[in-house]
Amino acid sequence: MSSSGNKFCPACSINVNPKLWTAHTTGRKHKQKVAELKAEAAKQSKAEKRAFPNEASDEFNIAKKPKIDPSVSSSSGGSSNGNKHSEKADGGQKNELSFIPAGFFDNPEMDSKTEASMTKAKELDAEYSKFMNEISQVQDDVAVEEAVEDKNFNHERQLEAIDDTMEYWQSLNELEKKKEAIGTLKKKQNEESEESDGSDVDLDLDNWRSRKIF
């Protein structure tokens, strides 16, 4: 993580805001870049391992000269003079080879190149292993963050469901109260209406009794 609080993505070589880290690592471009880097690193490592032994073998074959075996005669069906001549020639060649110092056919330059190639191959393997470890670590971090986010998301959904249920029951309770209030109001109005009708009847009777008959 950088001093600014951002996370560094080794695959894309960019700094990413922690809030956008999951979106970045699960994005198509990031996954494509990781796949390309894996394929390129594997291809390069394989090519290097295949090329180094061939180069060393070619240089060694060029530097090394075939030795002459003095025990082999020139021809099995030749004359005795020919055999003697061959023995003399072989003896001369043997004497000539005896004057060649030990290590004459050694090639320090080739050995140095081979050693350098092997060292380079080891360095490439180490870099590749380090890169793969970084990619694996990033993937592990993403998996952990996704698991945490899924857990938090499920928890939030449960809380939202509980809130929705409580709001539903609260609304239902308010409707029941309104219904009861309306029923009470209607009942009261009916009672008042009945009382009003009774008062009107009594008033009419009183008026009739108070009338004078001429």
Tell me the pLDDT band of 80, cut-offs 50, 70 and 90: very low
Is the residue at 209 inside a domain?
no
Where are the extended beta strands (E) located within 123-214?
Answer: none
Is the residue at 194 inside a domain?
yes
Domain count, the chain: 1
Is the residue at 181 inside a domain?
yes
Q: Which domain holds residue 176?
A: 152-203
Residue 22 has pLDDT above 70, yes or no: yes
Is the residue at 178 inside a domain?
yes
Residue 166 in 3-state DSSP?
Answer: helix
Is the residue at 55 inside a domain?
no
Is the residue at 190 inside a domain?
yes
Is the residue at 7 inside a domain?
no
Is the residue at 212 inside a domain?
no
40 DSSP β-pair partners: none
Tell if the pTM clears 0.75, that is, is over it: no
Which residue blocks in 99-107 are alpha helix, DSSP H? none
Rg (CA), the chain: 52
Q: What is the pLDDT of residue 1?
A: 57
* Maximal C-alpha separation, the chain: 194
